Structure 1
Amino acid sequence: MGRPIADRMSAAALAIAGVAFAAASLVPVPAQAHVKWFAPYIVDAAPQPIEATLTNVWFWTGIALVLAFFLATRAVERSRLGEPVLAALDRASDPLHRRLDDFMRVCIGGFFIAVFAVGGVYLTPDLQTPSEWVSWAQLVIAACVFSRRTMPIAAAGIVGLWLVALRDYDFFHLLDYLALGLGVAGYLVLASSENERFRRHRFETLRWAVAIALMWSSLEKFAYPDWFYPLVEERPFLTFGLPRDVFIPMAGIAEFTLGFGLIWTPLVRRLSALALLVIFTAAVYPFGRIDLVGHALIMAVILVIAADHERQVHFVPALKRRLAGVPAGLATALVVMVVGYWGLHFAFYGQGYEPAPGAQIATHAPNAEHPHGSVAPIEPQAHDVDSTAGVAESVDPAAALFAQANERMHESMVLDPSGDVDEDFVRGMIPHHLGAVEMAEIVLEHGDDPEIRALAREILAHQREEIRMMEDWLARGGG
C-alpha cells in the first residue's frame, strides 16, 4: 500500500527544506555577518552611493533568485501540502519546542557567562572596554535569567550595557547591536509576565529583533564593499569560486532577504531560519571560538524560530498571505532600511569625515589574531633588508614584527606642522599609541612572561581608550 502518510509528509518536508538550502546556495553568503570583528574599519567614512547598488546586475540577480524561492515556498504553504509540511517540521522539532523557554534562558545565560570569561567587552567581542565592572555586570545578568522574578533585571542590564557602550563607541556603529539587544531584553520581560496576552508575543519579539539586526548589518556589504575585500582575499574559499564583486552584493542580498523571511509566514520563516542556521554554523570552524561567542545568541534565536510551532500571522497578515505580498513586502523592507541607513549616516556625519593622517575613527582597535585590513602587518619579505633592518631574515618572527611595527609608527609620526601645537601633538600621539598597541599585541601573541603579558594587557586597555579620546577630539575639530 506504500509508505504511511506521516512518512510521506516527512519526505515532503525534507524536499521543501532541500529547495530552501539549494536556493540559499545559489546566493552565496559569507560565513560571518560582521567583518568588523576581525579588523577595524572607519564607520563615519562616506558610504558608497546607493545608485552603485541599484545599477549592479548581481544585486538584481540575487533579488530574483530569492523572490523565486519565497514565492515557491508560499505556493506550497497555500496548497494542500502546506499544513502537512509544517506538521512534519513540528514533529522534528517537538523535543526542543516543549522546552523552548528553558532553552532560550540557558542560551542567554551561557552567552553572558562566555562574554564574562572573554573579558574586556560589552555585548560582543567587537565592543571592547577596559572597565572591569562590565564583565561582572554580565555575570549578574547571566544569574538573573533563570528566575521569572529577576528576568526583568537581566533585561534592564542588557539595555544598560548598550547605553554605557555609547560612552566609548559611536552611536551609528552601535545600531548594529540595538535590535538584538532590545529583542532579547523584550523577550525576558514578556517571558516573565503573568499576563498571557503579553507573554504569547515573546518569541515574535525575538523574530523581529533578529530580522532587523540581519537586514541592517547586511547593508554594510552595499555601503562599504571594500571592508570585505581583505577578508575575501584572505579566505578565498568563502566566495565559492565567484568573483569578489559578484559575491559581495549577492551575499548582502542573501543576508537581507533571509532576515526578511524571519518575519513572514510560518513556512517561509522556518526555512529561512534553517538556512541561516547552516550558514552561521559553518562559520565556527574557519573563524574560531571568538566568532562562535559573538554569534552564539543570534544562533540560539534562529534555532528558536525554526522550532517555534506558531501558526498565527501578525502584522499585516492579509498582505503576507497573498503571493503578491512577498515582492511588495520585500521592496518595502529594502526602502525602509536603505533610507534609514544612508539617511541616518548622512544625519550624523554629513558627506563623511576624512581623518587626519595617521588617525582612524575605527570600529575598534586592531585584533592581533586577525590582522587583515587597513592596519594589517606587512609580512616580511626575504629581500626587504632595508625596511626591516635585516630582521626580516631572522628566524624569530616576533623580532620581524617588532621591527615593522616600529617602522610604521615612526613613519606615521612624521607630520607636516599645522601651526596648532595641540593638533600636532594629538596627530603625532595617535600613531605613537597605535604602535604601542601593536607591540603589546605581538607580546600577547608570542611572549611567555606573565608579568610582561599583564603589562601588555594594561597597555592595550589604556592606549586604546586614549586613542579613542584623541580621535574624538580630532573629529570634533579640536578643542
Structure 2
Amino acid sequence: MDRYRAGPDGFPATIAVETRSVGRSVLAGMDRISAPLAIRADDFMRAATAAFFVAIFAVGGVYLTPDLQTPSELVSWAQLAIAAGIFSRKTMPLSALGIIALWLVALKDYDVFHLLDYLALGVGVAGYLLLASTDNARWHEKRFLVLFWGVTIALMWSSLEKFAYPNWFYPLVEEKPFLTFGIPRDIFIPMAGVAEFTLGFGLIWTPLVRRLSAVALLIIFTAAVYPFGRIDLVGHAMIMAALILIAVDPLSKRAAPVPRQPAAIAHARSLAVVTMSLALALVAVSSSYWGLHATFYGANGRATAGQISTHTYSPEHPHGPGTPAISKPDPQAHSQ
C-alpha cells in the first residue's frame, strides 16, 4: 500500500521544499531553461494544435483522436479546416466551435459516457482557442488556466477507467508484459490509475508541484511512443503539448511569490491542505464518474462488447471492451 501513498505524500514534501531557498532555486533554474518557450507559449500552443489536426487529417477516418474511427471523409476535411483556422485570431473561434461540433457529431456513432473521456480536453483546447483570440484582457489572461484545467480533469477522469474496466487493459499487459515491471496485472492496473489521478491533480497545485507533475507525465507519455508507435504519439499530442506548457508554467510569471514561513508550519499546513484537497477531488470526480455510469448503465450495469464504445479491439488498439472476457487467473499473482 505504500506505493499508493507515494504520490500524495510527495506533494507536501515538494511544497515544503518550494518555500525554502532550494525550492526557489529550482524554480528559478526551470524558469531560465524554459524562458525562450515561455515568451512564445501562445505560438507554441497554436502551432501544436494545428499540427495535431493536420496529423489526424493525415491519419484519416477519425474524430478528434485515433481511437474514434469514422468512415466519413467530411470529418477529416473538417479537421483540416480547424487546423487552418488556428493561424488567424479572427478564425480561431470557428476552430474552437469546430472542436465542440465534432465531439457532438461523434455522439451518433459512439457511447456518450465513454466520449466523456475526451470532453474535458476538447473543452479545454476549444476554450483556450476562444480566449486566446479575444481582445478582452480579463478573459484573455484566463486562456492557459482553462487549458490546464481541461487537461487535469481529462487525466483524472480517464484514470477511473482503470478501476471501472480493468479487463479492458488485460490484453494490453498480456501483449506487452514488460509494461508491468513484473507486478501482477491486477495490482499494476489500479496502481497506474492512482498515479494518473494523482499526477493529474498535481497539475493544478503549486508551481513546483505542477511543473514536476507535468514533467513526470511527459516522461510517461514519451516512453509510451516506443512500444505503441507514432499513432499513440498523435493520440496524446494535445495532452503532451499542454503538459509542456504546464512545465514551462506561463501562469507562474503572473503569480505572487510564495511567502516564507517556518518549515514546520509550512509542512503541517501543506500536508493538511493536500490531503483534504486530494480527497475532495477524488470524491468529486469519482462521484461524477460513477453517478453518470449508473445513469447510463444502471446501478449494476457495465458497458459490454455489444455497446458502442470509444475503445475498440484491434491490433493498434488492443485494450477495448470488444475483447472477450479474460477469466483465467493471472499467473504472476501466484508467483509472488
TMscore range, shorter length: 0.7 to 0.9
- How many residue pairs end up in the alignment? 312
| Cα distance in 2, alignment partners of residues 69 and 252 from structure 1 | 17
Shift in Å, 1:373: 6.1
Partner secondary structure for residue 128 of structure 1:
coil
1:278 match: 219
2:119 is aligned with 1:178: yes
| Cα distance in 1, alignment partners of residues 315 and 85 from structure 2 | 34
2:314 match: 367
Indicate how the Cα distance of structure 1 residues 95 and 131 shifts in structure 2: closer, same or farther if over 3 A, else same: same
1:248 match: 189
1:343 match: 291
Give the 4+ runs in structure 1 shifted more than 6 A.
none
2:332 is aligned with 1:332: no
1:306 match: 247
| Cα distance in 1, alignment partners of residues 16 and 207 from structure 2 | 13
Mean CA deviation greater in 334-343 or 72-81: 72-81
Contact 1:128–1:364, Cα closer than 8 Å, also in 2: no
Which of structures 1 and 2 has the bigger CA Rg? Answer: 1
Alignment of 1:139-154 (within 5 A): 139-154=80-95
Contact 2:111–2:307, Cα closer than 8 Å, also in 1: no
* Unmatched runs of 5 consecutive residues or more in structure 2: 257-265, 325-336
Partner secondary structure for residue 310 of structure 1:
helix
**Paired amino acid for 1:283:** A
Partner secondary structure for residue 251 of structure 2:
coil
Q: Deviations over 1:92-148 (max 9, x none)?
A: 111111211111000000000011111111111111111111111101100010111
| Cα distance in 2, alignment partners of residues 301 and 372 from structure 1 | 25
1:352 match: 301
2:107 is aligned with 1:158: no
2:70 is aligned with 1:129: yes
Indicate how the Cα distance of structure 1 residues 142 and 85 shifts in structure 2: closer, same or farther if over 3 A, else same: same
* Unmatched runs of 5 consecutive residues or more in structure 1: 1-57, 315-319, 378-479
Shift in Å, 1:199: 1.1
Q: 1:214 aligns with which of 155, 160, 163?
A: 155
| Cα distance in 2, alignment partners of residues 70 and 191 from structure 1 | 31
**Paired amino acid for 2:314:** N
1:205 match: 146
Structure 1 vs Structure 2: percent identity of aligned residues?
A: 66
Partner secondary structure for residue 124 of structure 1:
coil
TM-score, structure 1 as length reference: 0.62
| Cα distance in 1, alignment partners of residues 120 and 316 from structure 2 | 28
Alpha-carbon RMSD across the aligned residues, in angstroms, is 2.2
Shift in Å, 1:370: 4.9
Indicate how the Cα distance of structure 1 residues 82 and 375 shifts in structure 2: closer, same or farther if over 3 A, else same: closer
State the structure with bigger RCO (CA 8 A, min sep 6), 1 or 2: 2
Partner secondary structure for residue 130 of structure 1:
coil
**Paired amino acid for 1:367:** S
